[in-house]
Amino acid sequence: MEVKTIRDLAQLQTEQGLKFVAGHRMCAGCGISSILRTVLSASKKKVVVVNATGCLEVVSTIYPFTAWNTPWLHVTFVNAGSAAAGVETAYRALKKKGILKEEVDIVAFGGDGGTYDIGIQAISGAFERGHNFLYVCYDNEGYMNTGHQRSGATPFGASSTTQPAGKVSFGKKEWRKDLVKIIAGHNIPYVAQSNVYNTMDMFKKAQKAFEIEGPKFLNVLMPCTTNWGFPENLTMKISRLATETNFWPLFEIERGVLTVNVKPKERKNIEEFLKLQGRFKHLFTEENKKYIEEMQKKIDEDFENLLKLEKVTHEEGVRI
């Protein structure tokens, strides 16, 4: 059946059953289940999931309870990319010998820790070798499972436990890595950025990815109620604000051509996103508000740049 709306998607999932079940120990209000059920239902084949150590791996498989209703592998923190490459290679070997009859999609999940930082080498190597799998990064902008240590994905100005705001520091001094561009540089067919509030966006991107052969990457923002410091019922609201303020634009790069999926007519000010979160509370003082201005400036510049890239890749044959 063709899935055009979230009602269609709910119908598909009701018929298919879920590959990730309740009984996991996610913090109340966490968005990861929404990402999982959406992405995994986009596959038309059997799915094998490979997971790096992190929030998802830890809370979904506390022995003897596993929330996974599909085959699942976890090796260590560093190797979601290379373990997925290993499963994919075994799949090819078994298919070649005619031992395995089913068609399988392989999906690797990693947090921003296991993707931007410690796991980036494994992903880079696997992508360069062209293994056929989808890598989904659930980006909660820090090492959240271990209590909010800073990662390469932590945004400018955020206070984390390893780079906290204090009398002489305003939190993270550095801008976060643009991982999507790094991954796009690997000559792969599909890279996209999505957000947990936008179910259909995630679904369409996952669906597109599953229909392509080769390495694919999906970067999904996932606000963390525990460590970003907001009440647990606001997860989706904050996720939506991230896109409405252009803090987290939704776009995709298909074979070098960039398309921006959501263009707010009038973008909201970044303060609306920041003021709801405890990790940015310290920025709302006289001496620190200049950092909010810096942030707003960079967000606007980056979004302008994104729109320009969209134009030149669509109209002038430029490729990312």
Residues 176-205 that bind other proteins (CB under 8 A): 199
Among 4, 44, 89, 174, binds other proteins (CB under 8 A): 89
Among 4, 16, 44, 90, binds other proteins (CB under 8 A): 90
| Structural contact between residues 19 and 25, judged by C-beta atoms closer than 8 angstroms | no
Least gap, CB of 39 to other proteins (angstroms) = 12
Which of 239, 176, 276, 312 has its CA nearest to residue 29?
239
The SS3 of residue 46 is strand
Among 236, 262, 307, 318, binds other proteins (CB under 8 A): 236
The SS3 of residue 308 is helix
| Structural contact between residues 108 and 136, judged by C-beta atoms closer than 8 angstroms | yes
DSSP 239: H
- The verdict on 229 binding other proteins (CB under 8 A) reads no
Among 9, 180, 250, 274, binds other proteins (CB under 8 A): 9
**d(C-alpha 130, C-alpha 93), whole Å:** 16
Least gap, CB of 254 to other proteins (angstroms) = 25
Among 43, 55, 81, 253, binds other proteins (CB under 8 A): 81
Least gap, CB of 115 to other proteins (angstroms) = 15
**d(C-alpha 164, C-alpha 59), whole Å:** 26
Span interacting with other proteins, options 55-63, 133-141, 204-212, 264-272, rule CB under 8 A: 55-63
**Count of residues near other proteins by CB under 8 A:** 83
Least gap, CB of 310 to other proteins (angstroms) = 28
| Structural contact between residues 67 and 60, judged by C-beta atoms closer than 8 angstroms | yes
Residue list 96-115, contact with other proteins (CB under 8 A): 96-97, 100, 102, 104
Span interacting with other proteins, options 15-23, 148-156, 204-212, 251-259, rule CB under 8 A: 15-23
- The verdict on 15 binding other proteins (CB under 8 A) reads yes
Encoded amino acid at 11, one letter: Q
**d(C-alpha 189, C-alpha 65), whole Å:** 37
Span interacting with other proteins, options 91-99, 206-214, 280-288, 308-316, rule CB under 8 A: 91-99
**d(C-alpha 109, C-alpha 35), whole Å:** 10
DSSP 175: P
Least gap, CB of 189 to other proteins (angstroms) = 20
- The verdict on 167 binding other proteins (CB under 8 A) reads no
| Structural contact between residues 267 and 246, judged by C-beta atoms closer than 8 angstroms | yes
